[in-house]
Amino acid sequence: MQQDILINWSPQETRVAVVEHGAVQELHIERTLERGLVGNVYLGKVSRVLPGMQSAFIDIGLERAAFLHVADVWHRQDNGEPPAFARKNGEPPVPIEKQVFEGQSLMVQVIKDPIGTKGARLSTQISVAGRLLVFLPQDDHVGVSQKIPGAERDALRARLQALVGDKASGGGGGFILRTNAEESTDAELAEDIAYLRKTWARIKEASLRLPATSLLHQDLDLLQRVLRDLVGEGTQAIRIDSLEQFQRLRAFGQEFMPAAAAKLQHYKGERPIFDLYSIDEEVAKALGRRVDLKSGGYLIVDQTEALTTIDVNTGGYVGARNFDDTIFKTNLEAAQAIARQLRLRNLGGIIIVDFIDMVREDHQHAVLSEFRKQLARDRVKTMAGGFSQLGLVEMTRKRTRESLAHMLCEPCEACQGSGQVKTARSVCYDILREILREARQFNPREFRVVAAPQVVELFLDEESQHLAGLSDFIGKPISLQAEGGMVQDQYDIVLL
């Protein structure tokens, strides 16, 4: 799949769009003041151990304590057995209270950014990513990416094992060959091995020198990760609109990733780079609930704390010969659109897709097959089940950072994130009840209602009779004051 990568850089924010056939497929944003933590290595301090949850809270110097689960605790066995977090023959791992204790200093790595009210998730197994390899310094395993065909994997593993060597020869450590290293030479691999071992030596040295809660190692910034993680064989060009960052990125790429650096271009056009493919418009659409399909159908995307639901509707599409074909074609188009929206919005966790009900099993199989095919293009790990008894497709997508909506938006002050506010009439009736309640407790000269203009307008028009009736009943005048800064369901009752 041919793609272009566009980079819009400013001192406060870096935005990267991956475009295929003129359509935005992925959007990555990194803000200088809100840079992600995944990959960072810290010298943490155990602040609390929770045996009941088999987890611990670790202070790594952030606002919220980070979270370490027993499944993420690396513990090498002296008898050559697998690490404690790897269950063997159904046996439970070693309890966390026997592995860590309060006040202990512990080297940890962030594997999930803080999301919402949850702190960062940690692991004690450290991995350092390079251009071609991932280094696992606490391990001795040498592996090859699952995406590389099986026939080539054994040969690549043997090559890598020879380059890594063993502890006796001053080598050792675990390495995983990344997908983009399939065609690399021994010299390139040896260079990456040396770079990763040098990085690990710096991390170890810092852990002995710095106090607890210190940052020992920071992962590459978004610009550098573009070359390391996003560039592939199908990438035609990487265009960046900042000359200074272009030069910095080219220097970094020529040293570590010459093939990727060769695709770098400095964009000099007068139009903003994101205007080339209307990317800002796509971002605005990705923040909305409704996604229109070309056929006339549409999706409704609702994101909550627990899960994300996606509902497919035929809308105005009536183009097929019969109703079954209309539903089938809408669902096929939706399968492609949903996979793209997951990438674009960076939705993670549990996702429930409600395709339009299909009677024919061959239609169900075809839609599910197309959906899984589109999900396979995702860089992030996904798992999708079949149709449930209720006709729903349940899936998961690994969540490592905030979704696009959570990064760019915040809950509405008026509705507190519910997406709804009370009608003006409901607010009027709330005010009438509140005045009656206040009149029973206090004896002011007058009640003054301060409310949004649309509420005051309703009191002066359709609800004037009810307001006058209440005034007669309590024997006090009620005056109205419109306040333009108030939202519809806000009001104040002033006792004069």
- The full DSSP string for 9-44 is EETTEEEEEEEETTEEEEEEEEEGGG---TT-EEEE
Report the candidate in 106, 14, 20, 100 with the shortest Cα–Cα distance to residue 60.
106
What is the full DSSP assignment across 81-124?
A: PPPTTS--TTPPPPPGGGT--TT-EEEEEEEE--BTTB--EEES
The whole-angstrom separation of Cα 65 and Cα 59 is: 5
Count of beta carbons in the 10 Å neighbourhood of residue 382: 20
Instruction: List the beta strands (DSSP E) in 366-438.
Output: 382-387, 393-397
Spatial CB neighbours of 363, under 8 Å, sequence gap ≥ 6: 324, 327, 328, 331
The whole-angstrom separation of Cα 135 and Cα 9 is: 30
- The domain limits of the chain are 3-35+221-279, 41-217, 288-405, 424-495
Token pair recorded at residue 476: 């006090």
Burial of 427 (0-12, 13-18, 19+ CB in 10 A): buried
Taking the complete model, does pTM exceed 0.75, yes or no? no
Site of tokens 């996979």: 339
4 near 19, Cβ under 8 Å?
yes
DSSP character at residue 56? E
The whole-angstrom separation of Cα 62 and Cα 286 is: 30
**Class for domain 3-35+221-279, per CATH?**
alpha beta
pLDDT tens for the chain, 496 residues long, are 688 999 999 999 999 999 998 889 999 999 887 788 889 999 999 999 999 999 999 999 988 999 999 999 986 544 444 444 444 445 667 899 999 999 999 999 999 988 877 889 999 999 998 878 999 998 888 888 877 777 788 888 888 888 888 765 556 789 999 877 777 888 888 888 888 988 899 999 999 999 999 999 988 899 988 988 888 778 999 999 999 999 999 998 888 778 888 999 999 988 999 988 889 898 888 888 899 998 888 999 998 888 999 999 987 666 556 788 888 999 999 999 999 999 999 999 999 999 999 988 999 999 999 999 999 888 888 999 999 988 899 999 988 678 888 888 887 777 777 778 889 999 999 999 999 999 999 999 999 999 999 999 999 999 999 999 999 999 999 999 999 888 888 899 999 8
Site of tokens 């004896």: 443
pLDDT attached to residue 483: 92
Report the candidate in 25, 24, 115, 26 with the shortest Cα–Cα distance to residue 67.
115
Fold of 41-217: OB fold (Dihydrolipoamide Acetyltransferase, E2P) (2.40.50)
Q: Coil, strand, or helix at residue 144?
A: strand
Tallying the residues shown for the chain, one arrives at 496
The whole-angstrom separation of Cα 31 and Cα 243 is: 19
Taken in order 328, 329, 332, 338, the sign of the CA dihedral is negative
Spatial CB neighbours of 35, under 8 Å, sequence gap ≥ 6: 221
pLDDT attached to residue 45: 95
Taken in order 313, 315, 319, 321, the sign of the CA dihedral is positive
| Cα-based torsion angle of the residue sequence 232, 238, 243, 244 in order, rounded to the nearest 10 degrees | -20
Spatial CB neighbours of 96, under 8 Å, sequence gap ≥ 6: 49, 50, 51, 54, 55, 56, 68, 69, 70, 73
Token pair recorded at residue 272: 């903003």
- Give the containing element (helix H, strand E) for 491: strand 491-495
The whole-angstrom separation of Cα 176 and Cα 142 is: 6
Token pair recorded at residue 336: 């492609």
The whole-angstrom separation of Cα 244 and Cα 259 is: 20
Taken in order 373, 378, 382, 388, the sign of the CA dihedral is negative
Report the candidate in 164, 173, 215, 176 with the shortest Cα–Cα distance to residue 76.
173
121 near 110, Cβ under 8 Å?
yes
The whole-angstrom separation of Cα 153 and Cα 143 is: 9
What are the phi and psi torsion angles at 226 (to 5°)? Answer: -60, -50
Pick the CATH number of 424-495 from 1.10.10.10, 3.10.450.50, 3.40.1260.20, 3.30.70.2190: 3.40.1260.20
The whole-angstrom separation of Cα 156 and Cα 148 is: 10
Pairing between strand 121-123 and 105-112? antiparallel
Count of beta carbons in the 10 Å neighbourhood of residue 421: 17
